[in-house]
Amino acid sequence: MRKFLISVASGFVAVLPRWADAQEPTFCDCQDDRIRMAIAPMRLAEALAKFTSITRCPASLDMDRMKGWPTRAVRATVVEGHLTSKQALARMLRSTSLASTPINGVVSVGN
């Protein structure tokens, strides 16, 4: 009986990490579905925060790639319509020379 309980307990421990991963909430949800977007022109960092809250696709400025740029002065272009997250970012960055790069489910914006 003792061997049985030990084997059951060790089997449970082996499955536990996978179960824990499956139960974690997933905020990152970069999908190609079109969703309704309405983001006014504003500072880029604020626009990226709004983009993230609407799309659930984390996007942020890559400060290493932004060295030498006055990040507070960079403004995003208006984004309106039913768009994918990729289309929305392209419109947002249209008036800048910045580019977005997906990295492990997160979007990095920089020069």
Q: What is the pLDDT of residues 72-109, one digit of tens each?
A: 788 999 999 999 999 999 999 998 888 888 888 788 89
Rg (CA), the chain: 21
Q: Does some domain include residue 26?
A: no
Q: Does some domain include residue 27?
A: no
Q: Does some domain include residue 29?
A: no
pLDDT at 37 over 90: yes
Domain count, the chain: 1
- pTM for the model stands at 0.69
The kind and range of the H/E element at 99 are strand 99-103
Compute the distance between CA of residue 19 and CA of residue 73 in angstroms, rounded to an integer. 45
Compute the distance between CA of residue 10 and CA of residue 5 in angstroms, rounded to an integer. 9
Domain that holds residue 79: 35-110
Residue that wins the pLDDT comparison between 67 and 37: 37
The pLDDT of residue 29 is 63
